[in-house]
Chain A
Amino acid sequence: MSTERNVLDPLEIAETWYRGGRKVALATVIETWGSAPRPVGSHLVIDDEGNFQGSVSGGCVEGAVIAEAMEIIETGAPKILEFGVADETAWRVGLSCGGRIRVYVERIEG
């Protein structure tokens, strides 16, 4: 019933940023295994200057997602990223909880 919209909502922010002329990518958790900090469907929105809002983990892999997203903003080709303790990259960026996640990153178009 409240008409006030959440100012920290990633999808609202994505629309606002895009409308404001920024290039925007949207990252979404599409699969999780084991204990994962954010549920499937969680969003992170990134612009071409590396500004971001929302989360796909508890801060563990956001840095890597943002770096990939900035490339996707340039190329326009969506990508599925996977992070988990078994993988070298993830070990560095660290999903300390021991879970594994897949994140879909796409550019806002049109």
Chain B
Amino acid sequence: MERSTLQAINAARAARRAAVVVTDLSDGTSQVFPEGAKFPPEWDSVIVQALRSGRAGVTAVEERSLFINVHLPPPRIVAIGAVHISQALAGLAAVAGFDMVIIDPRTAFATTERFGNVELLAEWPEDILSSRPLDRYTALAALTHDPKIDDYPIRAALEAGCFYVGSLGSRKTHATRVERLTQAGVPAEAIGRIKAPIGLDIGAASPAEIAVAVLAEIIEALRRRDPAGRAGGAR
């Protein structure tokens, strides 16, 4: 493998951009194709398929044996709200192998004393997400149940195709949220992707138990996402 190929793979991964590496096993040459790039016509279908399924493997194209490797960005969780549930979720997310970041403009909540090593941003979601956008490999959990804080990132997550969008709040709270989002022009199909009340229904009561239910729901959305490529959660 050329050094430049290795650098291109690592650059795509650092930028959270999916990339496919095609290695011709007969002559050892390899090439990197980041998501959204122009693919050679003869390889287009295998590259697109690999990006969709996330599956690596050997395939034959025009009698050449090719190894197709896929590098998808690692899944991460963006939690809106430096609340009690987020404290528990941060610990669980680390154990389960998710990157996590917490955003909360309320500086009384967003303190390192409460959160230790987790990445914590004491700013408005609007300000953060414009420079660090959400993507298909991100789960968004809106946990403040304050519309001023939660609504913007929920809409942004639906637009970005986040594989999971969950929102804390009772059925009543969610009903008023649906009304607000509908009035703001969010399509009903997108609103239908929001998981609310948040978390798998395991009767969770304490903040830590709710965090377990939320993480389990996120894992389900990740592992059962639509293999045709659109980030999941539509079921």
Contact = CB atoms under 8 A, between A and B. Distances in A.
Interface of A: 1-2, 5, 11-12, 14-15, 18, 26, 28, 30-31, 39-41, 78, 80, 102, 104, 106-110
Contact of B1 (A1, A39, A102, A109): A109
A18 B6 CA distance: 10
6 contacts: A1-B99, A5-B14, A11-B6, A30-B58, A41-B69, A106-B28
A40 B55 CA distance: 8
Contacts of A110: 2-4
Nearest to B57: A40
A104 B23 contact: yes
A41 B55 CA distance: 9
Contacts of A14: 6
Interface in B29-52: none
A106 B69 CA distance: 15
B25 interface: yes
Q: Which 8 A-B pairs have the closest CB atoms?
A: A41-B56, A110-B3, A78-B28, A40-B56, A110-B2, A2-B99, A1-B101, A30-B67
Contacts of A30: 25, 56-58, 67
A110 B163 CA distance: 38
Q: Which of A12, A26, A41, A109 counts the most B-chain CB atoms under 10 A from its CB?
A: A41
Contact of B132 (A1, A11, A78, A109): A1
Nearest to B2: A110
Interface string B132-145: 10000010000000
A2 B67 contact: no
A8 to B, nearest CB: 12
Given A1-B99, A30-B58, A41-B69, A106 B10 contact: no
B182 interface: no
A104 B30 CA distance: 12
A89 B112 CA distance: 53
B25 A104 contact: yes
